[in-house]
Copies of this chain bind each other. A is one copy, B any other.
């Protein structure tokens, strides 16, 4: 067992000893979940009269499901389509159950889930552990069991449970109650928890591992490259606390992919995709799939990036060096032969001068093994055989990235 694996073993072991009753046993998310979610692109737009194509309603979700199924996203691995806040009616029904807004979801949420399932996709929904959702819709605090059953009845496959309007004291155990009720439904539902993001870096991530398949750790992303940098920096600064808790079935979540929206250049889009792959981050798109450019779609569907992200070992990567505003990240991934490991090595630039920066390195700086290597440049699509003491050159545009996979050659 490698060190991260040993650590993970002990964490899971400890968690099981402390509280076996409520632990999440859904067997899901063995690799980071991949999907699409309304929030970053469509937020809480409910004015369908003035924004007929951009408001949160059943037609928006159906059209995104159509795009996901027909434009290669599902095939690439994006399977969940998740309705974030502002889908619900402000009033529960006569039985105290949540219901979709009657005007915007006239066919009902179950019919929408059915539509999504018919496309071969899985259906996700948003709730809030507190008294209200962040947008002011009904929260689940007095209704955890009812809401778990309602969502299971609709055929929900993924629940994002937010943390607005609730006391932070004991919030982790509160999410554990929801875990218990989700388990009781018998339906496998990926559980995305928000409490670590509300509690901050001192959040009880052992509880998160126990109760959740993934959890947001940090603030909401916005449509700017600065936020990509800010989030990547935060994950780098706190990696010692975060990395041990990531692994098959339970993941740190740095928030949505911005790719295809308005704020990132193509180089910056590759940059986000690369860091999210290294971080073993859930890949949750939030973009108008009806309007996305081919270049952005290619980045989101890049098979080698998705392969790194979905690596079965599930070891979260780490920031290993900062040199002249180049941030160097690495992640251990499985090789072609299950007994071998390879390394994904990313050079992420925060330089702002206009020239391409040339960074020279030797594989021996990052890998102890001293033989020959095959090194692939993933974005530039080149491949070379090199010995560990030969110089490799990364050519990194300002705010861009270079990504290599280094695999030892068996000689």
Contact = CB atoms under 8 A, between A and B. Distances in A.
Interface in A351-374: 352-356, 358
Given A223-B398, A223-B399, A226-B226, A355 B263 contact: no
A262 B224 CA distance: 14
A225 interface: yes
Count of identical protomers in the assembly: 2
A362 to B, nearest CB: 17
Interface residues of A, number: 34
Secondary structure class of chain A's binding surface, majority of residues: loop
A263 B43 contact: no
Given A223-B353, A353-B223, A263 B54 contact: no
A225 to B, nearest CB: 7
- Which residue, of A40, A267, A356, has the highest number of chain B Cβ atoms within 10 A? A356
A355 B41 contact: yes
Interface in A242-265: 258, 261-265
A66 interface: no
A114 interface: no
23 contacts: A40-B354, A41-B354, A42-B354, A42-B355, A43-B353, A51-B358, A54-B355, A54-B356, A222-B352, A222-B353, A222-B354, A223-B352, A223-B353, A223-B354, A224-B399, A226-B226, A227-B352, A258-B354, A262-B267, A262-B354, A262-B399, A265-B265, A286-B354
